[in-house]
Amino acid sequence: MDDVDPRRLIPRTNDLLALPAVHEARKRLSERVIRDVIRKAQEQARRGELEPGRVGQSVVAALAARRATTLRPVLNATGVVVHTNLGRAPLSAQAIDALLAASGYVDVELDLAEGTRSRRGAGARAALLAACPAAEDALVVNNGAAALVLATTALAAGREVVVSRGELVEIGAGFRLPDLIESTGAVLHEVGATNRTHLHDYADALSPETGCVLKVHPSNFRVEGFTSAVPLRELSSLAAANGAPLVADLGSGLLAPDPCLPHEPDAATALADGADVVIASGDKLLGGPQAGLLLGRREIIARLARHPLARAVRADKLALAALEATVAGDPPPVVRSLHADGRDLRRRTEALAQALGVPLVPHDGRVGGGGAPGVPLAGWALRLPEGLAVLLRTGEPAVLPRVHDGSCLVDLRCVPEEDDERVLAAVRQALAALDDAPAGRAG
Ligand SMILES: *Cc1c(COP(=O)(O)O)cnc(C)c1O
């Protein structure tokens, strides 16, 4: 007697497509995604990894778990404020509202009163100028790197960018400013030595071939010892005397000085010191969406805005909306986390430590995002077994702790206080799972 090939019992696509759960899922997911989920379950059954009778069930479960986006929110328990791998700056409530409002049709390039086209992103521009009155004009582009490419292309393509050797930095993931600048067709004219550059080095380099002078804040490292750099103020007199525009890439981009970060450059000071254009990122210390800010002299900003490349690097309406709301709204999470009060952090961490019966240790947070290297942000952390880290990362909600010196450290600096209970529940669940796991498994 022939056995029925169990694979013939695998439900057919049309039958699975007719399941009520599939009808429900169509409100959230594309037909292609749904068919993919179905095909995967059928293939599993064909390979003998799933009983044919369970294919329907498996499809229902997979569809329920499937979201249109695979990005997962993460509670940042590392103490690193601008965490690149977590998307840098979390947005403020105002920025999120603005983002939602702008997600439909929105007057980003329209004057509703006149019914005519208007300057794109006028609101974001006005907010930036109000927050940084030293700037005559502002232009917002896709990110800091795009701002640098636009400035060096418009001012120096086919000519020279004069820059100190000590400032040719790699900003992360292998991206090097010198490569970026040379990709624009500008020629790098390096001056000085790695540790020391003097005003006469710049003076010797300036010539009719100079397109611009560039000063880069080497945000992610420090040179210590026998060092010397030329302050912007001195460089600006020299550049002005030679008719060369002075571009200052601040990296992180505070608009005004922050007493917590005395060595971090800011746009207001750089402009007062004579920079013609400053470049900053929207999603580092400013605490907004990904954006590149160009602030400075009217005629230079106009020159950049007119360049054809400006269109290729323009900011989208969502970034413009969130940026304006970040600058005009109350302090965003990055600023709050940076300035978090030590006693508050201790009180919150202690409450969790007591509830969990685990130790509390002093722990320094960091600015992150390549900003203010070596500046410790004194705070506290829960000290947990190292093996907990993977369970926290893969739990619900996902929590990213810091793994250091054989411990899993949970720092609440970047966790909104209203989420402390969620962190507590996540750690509890992870501790329970660790207890259940065979010894060493999660280590
Ligand atoms: C981060 C950084 C950039 C690049 O900015 P993005 O917004 O990441 O593109 C450029 N220059 C410096 C000095 C930086 O620190």
Which CATH number describes the domain made up of 91-329? 3.40.640.10
Q: Measured in whole angstroms, how far is the alpha carbon of residue 137 from the centre of its chain?
A: 25
Q: Dihedral sign, CA of 391, 397, 400, 406?
A: negative
* Token couple for 61: 């479960």
Q: What is the pLDDT of residue 171?
A: 79
148-188: pLDDT as tens digits: 999 999 999 999 999 999 999 887 777 899 999 999 999 99
The answer to whether the CB of 184 is under 6 A from ligand 1 is no
Cα 251 to middle of ligand 1, angstroms: 5
Residues 369 and 408 sit within 8 Å (Cβ to Cβ): no
333-359: pLDDT as tens digits: 999 999 999 999 999 999 999 999 999
* Token couple for 48: 């003998």
Q: Which atom of ligand 1 is nearest the CA belonging to 219?
A: 15
List the chain domain ranges: 74-83+335-436, 91-329
115's CB contacts (< 8 A; 6+ apart) are none
Q: Which of 85, 149, 171, 220 to mutate to test the pocket of ligand 1 (most atoms within 8 A of CB)?
A: 171
Q: Which atom of ligand 1 is nearest the CA belonging to 220?
A: 15
Q: Distance between CA 251 and CA 367 in Å, rounded?
A: 13
Looking at the domain covering 74-83+335-436, what would its CATH class be?
alpha beta
Instruction: Please state, in angstroms and as integers, the Cα–Cα distance from residue 306 to each residue in 160, 163, 434, following that order.
Output: 21, 25, 59
Q: Which of 249, 293, 367 to mutate to test the pocket of ligand 1 (most atoms within 8 A of CB)?
A: 249
286-301: pLDDT as tens digits: 999 999 999 999 999 9
Within 13 Å, how many C-alpha atoms sit on residue 95's CB side? Answer: 26
pLDDT at 275 over 60: yes
Q: Measured in whole angstroms, how far is the alpha carbon of residue 442 from the centre of its chain?
A: 30
The closest of 347, 325, 10, 281 to 147, measured between CA atoms, is 281
395-437: pLDDT as tens digits: 999 999 999 999 999 999 999 999 999 999 999 999 999 988 7
Closest residue by Cα to atom 14, ligand 1, is 251
The answer to whether the CB of 144 is under 6 A from ligand 1 is yes
Average pLDDT value for residue range 383-399:
97
